[in-house]
Chains A and B, each alone.
Chain A
Amino acid sequence: MRLVKYCLALGLALVLLLPGPGWSEVLKVTQSNQSLYPDPDFGDHPVAQVPVGAEVSVVNQAGDWYKVEYQGKTGWLNRQAVVQPQSGSKFNLQGLLFGTPVKQTSSDEVALAGKGFTPEVENTYRAKHPNMNFAMVDKIESFKVAPATLQAFIQEGDLKP
Chain B
Amino acid sequence: MRALCCLVLVCVAPFLVGGCVATALVPVAAIAAKGVSKATVAARPISDSEEYYIGRAVAARILTNYKLDPNPKLTEYVNEIGNVVARKSSRPNPFRGYHFAVLDTEKINAFACPGGIIFVTRGLIKACQNEDQLAAVLAHEVGHVVHRDGINSIKQSRWTEVWTAMGKEAVTMYGGSVAAGLVSLFESSIDDVFKTIVVDGYSRKAEEAADIVGIQELCRAGYDPNALVAILSIMEAKGKGTSSGMFETHPPTAERLAKAKAEASHCPPAKGVALRAKRFKKEVS
Contact = CB atoms under 8 A, between A and B. Distances in A.
Given A107-B169, A156-B279, A14 B12 contact: yes
Interface stretch (A5-13, A19-27, A54-62): A5-13
Interface string A25-59: 00000000100000000110000000000000000
Contacts of A102: 26-27, 30, 173
A118 to B, nearest CB: 7
Contact of B185 (A107, A114, A120): A114
B46 interface: yes
B57 A99 contact: no
Contacts of B254: none
B19 A114 contact: no
B223 A159 contact: yes
Contacts of B185: 110, 114-116
B208 interface: no
Interface string B40-65: 11101011111001101101110110
B73 interface: no
Interface string A117-161: 111111111001001111011011101110001100110111110
Contacts of B68: 136, 139-140
Interface in B171-199: 173-174, 176-179, 182-183, 185-187, 189
B53 A117 contact: yes
Nearest to A149: B80
Nearest to B174: A100
Contacts of B59: 136-137, 140
Contacts of B93: 42-43
A160 B267 CA distance: 13
Contacts of A74: none
A38 to B, nearest CB: 14
Contact of A7 (B9, B79, B165, B166): B9
Of the listed residues A109, A117, A150, the one surrounded by the most CB atoms of chain B closer than 10 A to its CB is A117
Contacts of A139: 68
Contacts of A86: 176-178
Interface in B156-176: 158-159, 161-162, 165-166, 169, 173-174, 176
B281 to A, nearest CB: 13
A133 B103 CA distance: 13
A117 to B, nearest CB: 4
Contacts of B107: none
B177 A42 contact: no
Interface in B1-45: 1, 4-5, 8-9, 11-12, 15-16, 18-20, 22-23, 26-27, 30, 34, 37-42, 44
12 contacts: A4-B8, A7-B8, A103-B179, A104-B34, A115-B158, A119-B53, A125-B183, A132-B60, A137-B56, A154-B84, A156-B279, A158-B272
